[in-house]
Structure 1
Amino acid sequence: MATLHQLNILVHIAFGTLALLVGLAPMLTAKGGPAHLRTGRWFLGLATVVLVTAVLGLAVFNFRPFLTVIVMLSVYQAYSGYRVLRTHATGPTLSDGVFSAVFLLGAGAFLVLLPRIALVWSPVVMYSTLGTLLAMTVYDLSRFGWLSRWRRGAWLYEHIWKMMSTYSALLSAFTGTVLGAYKPYSQFLPSVLGSAVAMGFMLYTYRRR
């Protein structure tokens, strides 16, 4: 079991490093162009391996509440950000609503249990991460009430935000673990930077439309 755990960690680190490097390409290439779409798919594929190994590590080998919260947010952002592209013409489906509801309940349950859990990461990071997940799931469920406006263009800004958030979540997990001596700054500054970059891309897109 120890050998499998070490192998899982090695795969997680290797693919996480590749995801952080490859993830820069969609940011730097023309949005919607062939290179952007191709490298975006590569990033999602790498991120999927990172998240699957993270789930395996937490569920089978070593459960850590603080990393579980980060993984929950990353999984939700990556999948829902991908689904935006698949459903932007028709709007989110019932399965998308169920997916959001499940994560909303999971985040709510974690929020209730958090005071009983010994926190390794800063409480500010934990509560803000859960708050972000709760806000995102509530927003996604609200889309069913304004589908026509969402299809006209809001989906694009949502895609930008979620994919940048996926990248910054991976970066936060990396820096928060590797640069542990600089907590909590190494935990939340990548997310702050990612949010600023996402808003910059959204503003740029708005001005070009």
Structure 2
Amino acid sequence: METLHSINLIIHISFGLAAMGLGVVALRAPKKRGPHTRFGRYFLYAISVVLETGLMGAILFRASPFLVMLTLLAGYVSYAGWRIVRLREKRSSTRDVACALLAFTSGLFFLGIAKTSDASWNPSVIYSTFGALSLVTTYDLVKHYWLHESLKGGWLYEHIYKMLSAFSALLSAFAGNVLPQCQPYSQLGPSILGMVMMIWYMRQVTRSQGKPV
């Protein structure tokens, strides 16, 4: 099992690093069909492997509950960020609702485990991560059932928020592991950077009168 754990960990870290690199390329590319779309798709592929290996680590090898929750956040918002581009102003599907509920309940489960067994992670980081996951899943559910008509025009802003949330979650996991002596700032810093980037990109969209990606 130790060998399998090492292999799983290597794959998890490798694809996490690849996802961050691909995310940077997608962010720097012109926001239209072409490199932005292509590298964004590669980013999603890498994130899916990160999510799968993270969950495998939690189930088989007792990986850090907080890191699993952070991986869960990155996985869900990247999926939701991809789906909103496909749907645009259409209502989300039953499958999307199921994914949101699964992500929220899984996050709640790992929050309970992290509070009792993951002493190496600061509570402020644990709660902020679960808070971010709760915010986006609740928004998606409320939009689906009650406020679709009112919120459907903001699909591009949703895409920006969700994809940058995924990117900053990866950065937070990376920085937290590479700079453990700087916790919790090494984990909170990428989240703050992500918020700044979201505001900047949203302002760019507003200035360009909301032209599609």
* TM-score, scaled to structure 1: 0.92
Is the 2:77–2:166 Cα contact (8 Å) retained in structure 1? Answer: yes
Which runs of 5 or more structure 2 residues have no equivalent in the other structure? Answer: none
The amino acid of 2:36's aligned partner reads: H
Structure 1 position 116, deviation (Å): 3.5
Is the 1:70–1:173 Cα contact (8 Å) retained in structure 2? Answer: yes
The aligned counterpart of 1:100 is 100
Query: CA separation of 1:141/1:174 partners in 2, compared to 1, >3 Å: closer, same or farther?
Result: same
Distance 1:37 1:118 in 2: 37
Superposition RMSD in Å: 1.7
Structure 1 position 109, deviation (Å): 4.4
Is the 1:91–1:150 Cα contact (8 Å) retained in structure 2? Answer: no
The aligned counterpart of 2:184 is 184
The aligned counterpart of 1:200 is 200
Structure 1 position 139, deviation (Å): 0.7
Residue deviations 1:155-199 (CA, integer Å, cap 9, x gap): 110011100110110111011011111111111101110111011
Is the 2:88–2:152 Cα contact (8 Å) retained in structure 1? Answer: yes
Residue deviations 1:136-170 (CA, integer Å, cap 9, x gap): 11111111222234333x11100111001101101
Is the 2:15–2:47 Cα contact (8 Å) retained in structure 1? Answer: yes
Structure 1 position 40, deviation (Å): 0.5
Is the 1:11–1:53 Cα contact (8 Å) retained in structure 2? Answer: yes
Query: CA separation of 1:112/1:121 partners in 2, compared to 1, >3 Å: closer, same or farther?
Result: closer
Is the 1:81–1:163 Cα contact (8 Å) retained in structure 2? Answer: yes
The aligned counterpart of 1:83 is 83
The aligned counterpart of 2:50 is 50
Distance 1:114 1:17 in 2: 24
The amino acid of 1:131's aligned partner reads: G
Distance 1:113 1:55 in 2: 14
Query: Relative to structure 2, which stretch is displaced further, 9-18 or 195-204?
Result: 9-18
The amino acid of 1:133's aligned partner reads: L
Query: CA separation of 1:26/1:182 partners in 2, compared to 1, >3 Å: closer, same or farther?
Result: same
Which runs of 5 or more structure 1 residues have no equivalent in the other structure? Answer: none
Distance 2:149 2:32 in 1: 22
Number of aligned residue pairs: 208
Whether 1:135 and 2:135 are equivalent positions in the alignment is yes
Structure 1 position 45, deviation (Å): 0.9
Distance 1:103 1:33 in 2: 29
The aligned counterpart of 1:38 is 38
The amino acid of 1:96's aligned partner reads: D
Is the 2:25–2:39 Cα contact (8 Å) retained in structure 1? Answer: yes
Is the 2:66–2:118 Cα contact (8 Å) retained in structure 1? Answer: no
The aligned counterpart of 2:125 is 125
The amino acid of 1:204's aligned partner reads: Q
